[in-house]
Structure 1
Amino acid sequence: MLKETAVRGICSLLFAAIVPLSGPSIAASSENKISVTIGVLNDRSGIYADISGDGSVAAARMAVEDFKAEQQGLDVRIISADHQNKPDVGASIARKWYDTEGVDAIVDVPTSSVALAVSEITREKDRVFLNSGAATSDLTGSHCSPNTIHWTYDTKALANGTGRATVKAGGKTWFFLTADYAFGHALERDTTRVVEEAGGRVIGSVNTPFPSMDFSSYLLQAQASGAKVIGLANAGGDTINAVKQASEFAIMRSGQKLAGLLVFATDVKALGLQRAQGLLLTSPFYWNLNDATRAWSERFAERTGGELPTMVHAGVYSSTLHYLKAVKAAGTTDAKPVLKNMKMTVANDSLFGQGRIRADGRKMHDVHLFEVKKPSESSEKWDFYKLVATIPAEEAFGAEPNPACRMDPS
């Protein structure tokens, strides 16, 4: 399946490279429509392909259709490419899209190091970046940009959800396995702060290569530390491999707990409920949270061969929809009026409900603390989670803009 995804990603990139597209400003067609080009930039063939990949392209297209773009006077084109989880590759694609292919907005972009690079180029080119896939809270902190909106989740919300709940449940001492790049370090940093605020302490950590297939030596270090909680500051395939190998070493049976700080439904599917049961996780979206999320997810599955959406896919849909509304209202794709409209208008859709965008670019909405069900509690395919608590947006992300963000809020 990954090979097929890789081929599709390469084909998408080649297609994007050869098809002449419109420029960044208003380009009126014969029907006097506004031409809009949106680039979905993500991992199409690697460790994060399942949480973003083709599903994010499907989600963006659903947003265009649900907005009824043609009827609204917009001629929208969706293109896509694989950044291979490499900042230089992602930056090169973003620059090419902006310089020669008329891309107005880039969406998704998992892998925090890539997202930070794309954010900087987007600011330089004065376009729009709607991030759904990356987690680092630095996107609205020390690396904030007036051109970037961080939509779905971030390391601060993950820490305030899973991290705080784990400490309250008795996990007072922590040892981190940290993916050695921007995301992992941000997640360890933000979770450490929450653990210490809640009365716990961190007694050690180890940086792990990204991506990694073998966590055995790192897990043994964590086991030897005697920490009550092993915090997995990683995601996707890294989380799956770490949990599987921890199970093989019987780490949980010895009394230590795993805290999967960023867990997706696709991870639980890969692990199986037998291994994943009891894991706490934080997410603003779950396909079966309510009737509206279920209906949308069933439509999504029809386009993806039965695969249900992750929160990244939901974020791509939601951010694209809000962006298209802003383009329509502004009457242009020029970044400044579009972003101004996005930030002054309530974001409202069936997946996240009503929300606002903070001055630093953080999209505000409630997040949820879930627990993975036991096999005996699951009644259907993909029935993975039970709701533990809903965390208000201000508690999860912070009510005020990140003080590390120095951009002019205007």
Structure 2
Amino acid sequence: MGTRVPLSRRSLLKSAGGVALLAGIGAPAIVRAQSDVIRIGHLTPRTGFLGPLGEYGVMAIDLAVEELNAAGGVNGRKIELLKEDSVNPQTASTKAERMIERDKVACIIGEISSASCLTIAQVAQRNKTLYVNTGGNSDALRGADCKKFMFHVESQNSMYVKSVGRSFLNAGLVKGKSWYSLTADYAFGHDLLKVAKRFMESNGGKFAGDELVPTDATDFSAYLLKIRSAKPDLVVLNLAGNQITNFLKQYAEFGLTFPVGGFGFDTALAWAAGKGNFVGTWPVVWHHLIDTPGSKAFVGAFTKKYGKPPENQAWGDYIAMKIVAQSMNELKTPDSAKLIEHWEKGAKFDLLKTRPGYFRASDHQLMHEMYAVTALPADQVKNQWDIFTSSGPVPGPNEDLEVIASTKDEASCTFA
């Protein structure tokens, strides 16, 4: 055996192994983290009552990353997507912390639960890492709970209410009318009910009743009996996830015929309810029947890959990934502070709709068109996907995008 020659610090640092030894981690991890890939964290519920929607988000962001990597990734670096089931607010917070501190993600995208959005945002703010919310609706996230490092591709509750509220006004279902509402008993539902009541009261209507519904409720018979007795002019659902599907199926079984509508909605839930069960008018951020080249391309690629069309949650995660990658490529950096500055200056993005959108600097809400969809009568439904008709874009082409968003009086944001 030859004589062992001690390595100097300089000679040790010349090798990747030496760097790894001093850093306390493997050399491949360093090389990969610094040059080959850019890591993006994706958190969304894949189990529980929001799980069916989360799965669409996962499929969509996978497609987006596949397309982006095929086109060269981000500044020549391949995107590596780290995906986790966020489960609940506590788990979401823990996983966000791990993604940022251990996995060194450039940003986090995703979520549906407003409560989980807040815990992720708190971690992101503390670590000065960008977080893009793709599914949490609460106005409070854009108001009292807003964060400098959190942006919102998903629309806020005010945008949902004001969009579909136009349809209710046109149909004469507001002034002098009474509504009966069922509301999911968690942050999203409470916030949505507050916004819905503000809309109703400002337009001359009242509530015949409103009920808070546990998120694990599956039997709605007790609520349906109360609705039958109250005889409302409109049954309003501020529910979430598969609660909406279960309610609509049971509503049909009870044979109730009061008009139905809602302020929060996902097209996957209409598909799950099916022909004859899905009724009413609902707001959506996007749907698969939008007639623009961008939407048609997205629907075609998604359908080819997964054998079914994307729904609106899929749009949110897909478009968020595309916005992040586009901005990183334009700025030639994944730096969160630089991205925030760029977005706050009014950068415009193709959202697969009739006009581009932008993030509002005051609360980081994406300003974009929405739609109101109305269920087709059962005898007009030709397949399991195309079960509704749609309004044109809301706001209309000659209106400012911000007319459907919250005003400063309704939800005021002050960044720390």
TM beyond 0.5:
yes
Q: Call closer, same or farther: CA 1:150–1:45 in 2, change over 3 Å.
A: same
Match of 1:294 in 2: 296
Which of 359, 364, 368 aligns to 2:367? It is: 364
Match of 2:10 in 1: none
Q: For residues 226 and 349 of structure 1, what CA distance do their matches in structure 2 show?
A: 41
Match of 2:80 in 1: 77
Q: For residues 246 and 337 of structure 1, what CA distance do their matches in structure 2 show?
A: 50
Q: For residues 259 and 21 of structure 1, what CA distance do their matches in structure 2 show?
A: 54
Structure 1 SS opposite 2:310: coil
Which of 218, 232, 237 aligns to 1:232? It is: 237
Q: For residues 380 and 400 of structure 1, what CA distance do their matches in structure 2 show?
A: 43
Give how far 1:363 is off.
0.3
Cα deviation digits, residues 317-372 of structure 1 (max 9, x gap): 11111111222233332211112123331112435740110011100001111111
Give how far 1:188 is off.
0.8
Q: Call closer, same or farther: CA 1:207–1:288 in 2, change over 3 Å.
A: same
Q: Call closer, same or farther: CA 1:401–1:361 in 2, change over 3 Å.
A: farther
Match of 1:199 in 2: 204
Confirm or deny: 8 A CA contact 1:326 1:338 kept in the other structure.
yes
Q: For residues 50 and 118 of structure 2, what CA distance do their matches in structure 1 show?
A: 17
Structure 2 counterpart of 1:99, one-letter code: E
Confirm or deny: 8 A CA contact 2:353 2:369 kept in the other structure.
no
Which of 250, 255, 275 aligns to 2:277? It is: 275
Q: For residues 174 and 402 of structure 1, what CA distance do their matches in structure 2 show?
A: 22
Which of 391, 395, 400 aligns to 2:394? It is: 391
Q: For residues 352 and 315 of structure 1, what CA distance do their matches in structure 2 show?
A: 16
Cα deviation digits, residues 38-83 of structure 1 (max 9, x gap): 1121121222222222x32332233334442437323211111112
Q: For residues 170 and 294 of structure 1, what CA distance do their matches in structure 2 show?
A: 34
Match of 1:16 in 2: none
Structure 1 SS opposite 2:52: coil
Q: Call closer, same or farther: CA 1:148–1:166 in 2, change over 3 Å.
A: same
Q: For residues 215 and 403 of structure 1, what CA distance do their matches in structure 2 show?
A: 32
Cα deviation digits, residues 142-165 of structure 1 (max 9, x gap): 111111111122211111122342
Match of 2:341 in 1: 340
Question: Rg larger in 1 or in 2?
Answer: 2
Count how many residue pairs are aligned between Structure 1 and Structure 2: 377
What's the TM-score once normalised by structure 2's chain length?
Answer: 0.84
Structure 1 SS opposite 2:286: coil
Give how far 1:385 is off.
2.1
Structure 2 SS opposite 1:276: coil
Q: For residues 324 and 199 of structure 2, what CA distance do their matches in structure 1 show?
A: 33
Q: Call closer, same or farther: CA 1:195–1:311 in 2, change over 3 Å.
A: same
Match of 1:188 in 2: 193
Match of 1:261 in 2: 263
2:57 aligned with 1:49: no
Q: For residues 69 and 221 of structure 1, what CA distance do their matches in structure 2 show?
A: 58
Aligned-pair Cα RMSD in Å: 2.4
Match of 2:13 in 1: none
Cα deviation digits, residues 198-250 of structure 1 (max 9, x gap): 22112321111112111221232333333222211112210111112222222
Confirm or deny: 8 A CA contact 1:47 1:237 kept in the other structure.
yes
Q: For residues 74 and 135 of structure 2, what CA distance do their matches in structure 1 show?
A: 30
Q: For residues 27 and 96 of structure 1, what CA distance do their matches in structure 2 show?
A: 15
Confirm or deny: 8 A CA contact 1:326 1:339 kept in the other structure.
no
Q: For residues 21 and 351 of structure 1, what CA distance do their matches in structure 2 show?
A: 42
Q: Call closer, same or farther: CA 1:323–1:130 in 2, change over 3 Å.
A: same
2:132 aligned with 1:133: no
Confirm or deny: 8 A CA contact 1:152 1:315 kept in the other structure.
yes
Uncovered stretches (5+) of structure 1, i.e. residues with no partner: 1-18
Structure 2 SS opposite 1:262: coil
Q: Determine what percentage of the aligned residue pairs are the same residue.
A: 22
Q: For residues 366 and 272 of structure 2, what CA distance do their matches in structure 1 show?
A: 29
Uncovered stretches (5+) of structure 2, i.e. residues with no partner: 1-25, 396-400
2:203 aligned with 1:179: no
Give how far 1:313 is off.
1.0
Match of 2:309 in 1: 308
Confirm or deny: 8 A CA contact 1:236 1:267 kept in the other structure.
yes
Give how far 1:196 is off.
1.6
Q: For residues 130 and 401 of structure 1, what CA distance do their matches in structure 2 show?
A: 24
Give how far 1:403 is off.
4.4
Q: For residues 20 and 163 of structure 1, what CA distance do their matches in structure 2 show?
A: 57
Structure 1 counterpart of 2:277, one-letter code: R
